């Protein structure tokens, strides 16, 4: 199936990034959010990213305008009636995602693929509320979307081969590398990344080293672009905790227990960069 029209649900950090890369690849994009201000904030981020590309000589002013012209505002899920694929990037909450997928299943054309950008919720469980579980799939982009090359493509239990192939081809068109992953807690990215971050938090909690030292070891010793505690702040400590809980519950192994210090920070509202304070303080 050839994809031409894409709908992205959620104009936040991930959704706006996904909309940007889709529009850059030439797709018609409907960017949906519940409120005008959320859409405008997302569009503003995209516009700033494109302006930087122009400034750096990676795009012309005309190319920037063409990308923006391919993005249409949507404030109603009814706009799903006329698209080939929907990529959902709403909040990481199973009830909300299931409610969105139920509605999409009613509204979207029969051929449309329903994809989710979830970082850790089971694709199979989201697919189960629809009458087309074979057309439901995970497309897990990494943050920041315009920069990161990877898309984890997650097959739910019922995902059809041709749906996987279509999404793998679209991922290539986006200039990204897709990897095929089966639907198990945390998929691959977060099954490996989050226990590393959690272990770094344990090292801090047990007084093995300072936060700066822990980050320096991984940055300079292992060539990671960010140390694990800085990365945790970047991802959001509430998100880190929620993913650790999903791993712990889903895999039933105590090696995935979330560090008490992580729980304490989240309880304090120290959620990382977005709240101004996590392991580090952000002005
Ligand atoms: N949107 C668009 N572009 C961005 C960006 C953003 N949010 N943040 C950075 N960039 C661009 C910058 O504009 C810059 O491009 P140019 O200078 O060429 O114009 C380039 O990326 C490099 O940025 P900086 O020089 O500011 O800083 P940096 O070299 O430290 O790179 C980084 C920033 C790309 C974020 C880098 O630190 C990095 O790769 N960090 C790790 C990111 C990571 O691990 N992401 C995965 C998180 S986990 C996840 O997403 C999955 C999940 O489910 C939790």
* 104 and 213 assigned to the same domain: no
**CATH of residue 267:** 1.10.1040.10
Is 208 inside any structural domain? yes
Q: Determine if residue 13 is labeled as part of a ligand binding site.
A: yes
End-to-end CA distance of the chain: 48
pLDDT above 90: residue 98: yes
97 assigned binding-site residue: yes
Tell me whether residue 212 is one of the annotated catalytic residues.
no
Please indicate whether residue 190 is annotated as part of the active site. yes
Domain count of the chain? 2
Q: What is the pTM of this model?
A: 0.96
pLDDT score, position 283: 85
CB-based contact 31:57 (threshold 8 Å):
no
Task: Answer yes or no: is pLDDT of 171 > 90.
Answer: yes
Q: Reply yes or no: is the peptide bond before residue 144 cis, omega within 30 of 0.
A: yes
Substitution site in 42, 147, 230, 242 for ligand 1 pocket (most atoms within 8 Å of beta carbon): 147
The residue whose CA is least distant from atom 18 of ligand 1 is: 56
Known active-site residue 199: no
Three-state SS across the chain?
A: CCCCEEEEECCCHHHHHHHHHHHHCCCEEEEECCCHHHHHHHHHHHHHHHHHHHHCCCCCHHHHHHHHHCEEEECCHHHHHHCCEEEECCCCCHHHHHHHHHHHHHHCCCCCEEEECCCCCCHHHHHCCCCCHHHEEEEEECCCCCCCCEEEEEECCCCCHHHHHHHHHHHHHCCCEEEEEECCCCCCHHHHHHHHHHHHHHHHHCCCCCHHHHHHHHHHHHCCCCCHHHHHHHHCHHHHHHHHHHHHHHHCCHHHCCCHHHHHHHHCCCCEHHHCECCCECC
For residue 35, the enclosing domain spans: 5-182
Q: The domain that contains 86 carries what CATH number?
A: 3.40.50.720
Residue 282 lies in a domain: no
Q: Are residues 129 and 45 in the same domain?
A: yes
From CA 204, how far away is CA 229, in angstroms rounded?
A: 9
281, part of any domain: no
Residue 281 has pLDDT above 90, yes or no: yes
Residue 111 φ/ψ, nearest 5 degrees: -80, -10
Q: Are residues 177 and 93 in the same domain?
A: yes
Q: What is the C-alpha separation between 239 and 5, in angstroms, rounded?
A: 30
Question: Separation of 204 CA from ligand 1 center, angstroms?
Answer: 25
Choose the final residue of a domain: 159, 182, 205: 182
The sign of the torsion formed by the CA atoms of 145, 196, 153, 133 equals negative
Predicted complex ipTM:
0.96
Taking residues 122-137, report their average pLDDT: 98
- Asked whether residue 170 is assigned to any structural domain, the reply reads yes
Distance from the alpha carbon of residue 19 to the mean position of ligand 1, in angstroms? 17
Residue with tokens 């494109």: 50
Q: What is the mean pLDDT of the chain?
A: 97
| Ligand 1 pocket residue status of 225, Cβ below 6 Å | yes
The CB of 190 under 6 Å from ligand 1? The reply is yes
- pLDDT average, residue stretch 84-99: 96
Ligand 1 atom 22: residue of nearest CA: 147
pLDDT for 25 equals 98
**Ligand 1 atom nearest 56 alpha carbon:** 19
Question: Does 169 lie in the same domain as 40?
Answer: yes
- Which residue in the list 49, 117, 140, 242 is annotated as catalytic? 140
Task: Show which of 130, 158, 182 is a domain's final residue.
Answer: 182
Q: pLDDT band at residue 177, thresholds of 50, 70 and 90?
A: very high
Regarding the beta carbon of 154 and ligand 1, being less than 6 Å apart is answered: no
Mutate to test the pocket of ligand 1, among 225, 231, 238, 273 (most ligand atoms within 8 A of CB): 225
- 172 & 57 share domain: yes
Same domain? For 198 and 231 the reply is yes
Q: What is the pLDDT of residues 193-235, one digit of tens each?
A: 999 999 999 999 999 999 999 999 999 999 999 999 999 999 9
When pLDDT is cut at 50, 70 and 90, the band that residue 273 belongs to is very high
Has residue 45 been placed in a domain? yes
Quick check: CB of 226 below 6 Å from ligand 1? yes
Ligand 1 near 52 CB (within 6 A): yes
User: Is 221 marked as binding a ligand?
Assistant: no
Residue 93 lies in a domain: yes
Assess whether 10 and 146 both reside in one domain.
Answer: yes
Which member of 32, 88, 117, 152 is catalytic? 152
87 in the same domain as 27: yes
26 and 95 in a single domain? The answer is yes
Length of the chain equals: 283
Judgement on whether residues 156 and 210 belong to the same structural domain of the protein: no
Q: Residue 280 falls within a domain, yes or no?
A: no
Is the domain of 178 the same as that of 228? no
pLDDT at 1 over 90: no
Q: 178 and 196 share a domain?
A: no
Q: Is residue 75 included in any domain, yes or no? A: yes
Q: Which of 164, 182, 200 is the last residue of a domain?
A: 182
């Amino acid at each position: 199936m050839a994809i031409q029209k894409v709908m992205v649900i959620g104009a936040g950090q991930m959704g706006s990034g996904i909309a940007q890369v889709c529009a850059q690849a030439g797709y018609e994009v409907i960017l949906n959010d519940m409120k005008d201000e959320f859409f405008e904030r997302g569009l503003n981020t995209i516009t700033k990213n494109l302006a930087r590309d122009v400034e750096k000589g990676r795009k012309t002013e005309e190319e920037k305008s063409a990308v923006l012209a391919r993005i249409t505002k949507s404030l109603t899920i009814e706009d799903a009636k006329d698209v080939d694929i929907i990529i959902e990037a709403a909040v990481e909450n199973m009830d909300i995602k299931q409610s969105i997928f139920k509605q999409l299943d009613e509204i979207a054309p029969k051929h449309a693929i329903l994809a989710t950008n979830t970082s850790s919720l089971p694709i199979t469980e989201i697919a189960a509320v629809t009458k087309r579980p074979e057309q439901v799939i995970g497309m897990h982009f990494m943050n920041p979307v315009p920069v990161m090359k990877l898309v984890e493509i997650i097959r739910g239990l019922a995902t059809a081969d041709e749906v996987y192939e279509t999404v793998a081809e679209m991922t290539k068109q986006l200039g990204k590398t897709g990897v095929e992953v089966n639907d198990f807690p945390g998929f691959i990215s977060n099954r490996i990344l989050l226990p590393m971050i959690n272990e770094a938090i344990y090292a801090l909690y047990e007084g093995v080293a300072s936060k700066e030292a822990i980050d320096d070891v991984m940055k300079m010793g292992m060539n990671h672009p960010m140390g694990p505690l800085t990365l945790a702040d970047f991802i959001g400590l509430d998100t880190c905790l929620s993913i650790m809980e999903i791993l712990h519950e889903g895999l039933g192994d105590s090696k995935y227990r979330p560090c008490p210090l992580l729980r304490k920070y989240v309880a304090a509202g120290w959620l990382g960069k977005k709240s101004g304070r996590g392991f580090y303080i952000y002005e």
